[in-house]
Amino acid sequence: MPFSTHEFMAVVLEDQKDGKVLIEQRNRFGIGDVLEVLSPSENFNKKIKVESLKDCSGVDVLDAKTVQQKLVLKTDLNLKAGDILRKEI
């Protein structure tokens, strides 16, 4: 029986701009977690440590637990709309 090594955490909604990217949460993650990028770009398999996460009102989020919540993630990676963020389980 096949088993999963990663869990789908979020999808990127807009291209990265000014060190931030808009994402839509799919599974629970939070500050300190390391997310891996799935992308057709040079960012494939690169990792992001979640250090800053805010909701669309600019309020800090420590634990992304609301499914499909739109969040702003701080990252220097040039992520593009459609990129997927996953976490090793």
Give the mean model confidence (pLDDT) for residues 42-65: 97
pLDDT for 59 beyond 90: yes
pLDDT at position 13 is 98
Q: pTM score, two decimals?
A: 0.94
Is residue 51 within 8 A of residue 33, CB to CB? The reply is no
How distant is the alpha carbon of residue 59 from its chain centre?
17
C-alpha–C-alpha distance, residues 69 and 87, integer Å: 17
C-alpha–C-alpha distance, residues 26 and 65, integer Å: 9
pLDDT at position 15 is 97
The CATH H-level superfamily of 6-88 is Translation factors (2.40.30.10)
Predicted confidence (pLDDT) per residue in 60-69, tens digit: 999 999 999 9
